[in-house]
Amino acid sequence: MKIDARGKQCPLPVMDAKEGLKKAAPGEVVEICVDNEIAVQNLTKMAKHKGLEVESQKKEERVFFVRIQAAGEEKEAGKQTELTAQEKEQKEEACIPDGRKTGHIVVISSETMGQGDDILGKILMKGFLYALAGQDEIPETLLMYNGGVKLACEGSESLEDLKQLEAMGVEILACGTCLNHYGLTKQLAVGNVTNMYEIVERMTGARHIVKP
């Protein structure tokens, strides 16, 4: 059974799911589609409280699927619980309550933003990272190379914003060759060191690249 509860505020998705589970055949899986993580959490809470099997998946932005199995036949239930390792991994990835946009990366390739005046460029880049940390939707990954790595090193005025992004789950990767070139290897203060293979992989695999 499929229920589309997108556009509905809590507790309505949970009410719809309860109604669906009431009508469902024993062991039937009821799939509820919702548009926010809080609804996923409330549905999961309801299912767990009632002792039902539940799993959830983030399909895309504002599209989440929660599958709850109606009470009933043991055999079916057993089958449902045996998720493969791959499925489990997917499940864990599925519902991170955050604003990270899947496949979105931000590339910082210089200390400055735009061309013209470097002093202005630095101010703009600082402002960009500050504003980025305040967005509702943030990238999955922040790649930093060439002069960009300086922003992630000790003494950078953007450290606080980068740390905030990292705390919100954004993966921050700084190019190792670049850190080495500027003699900053030991000064990296946020994120992890990466290499060209990973940089290429992230950039070619990205759905959307933002480069200030």
- Contact residues toward other proteins (CB under 8 A) are 9-11, 14-15, 18, 36, 38-39, 41-42, 45-46, 49, 97, 130, 134
Q: What is the DSSP letter of 28?
A: P
Nearer residue to other proteins within complex by CB, 127 or 147: 127
ω before 11 within 30° of 0 (cis)?
A: yes
Q: Which two tokens stand for residue 88?
A: 């489990």
What's the gap between Cα 96 and its chain centre? 6
Nearer residue to other proteins within complex by CB, 18 or 100: 18
How far, in Å, CA of 134 to CA of 139, rounded? 12
Helix (H, G, I), strand (E, B) or coil at 196: helix
What's the gap between Cα 50 and its chain centre? 29
> In sequence order, what are the residues at sequence separation of 6 or more whose Cβ sits closer than 8 angstroms to the Cβ of residue 55?
66, 67, 83, 91, 94
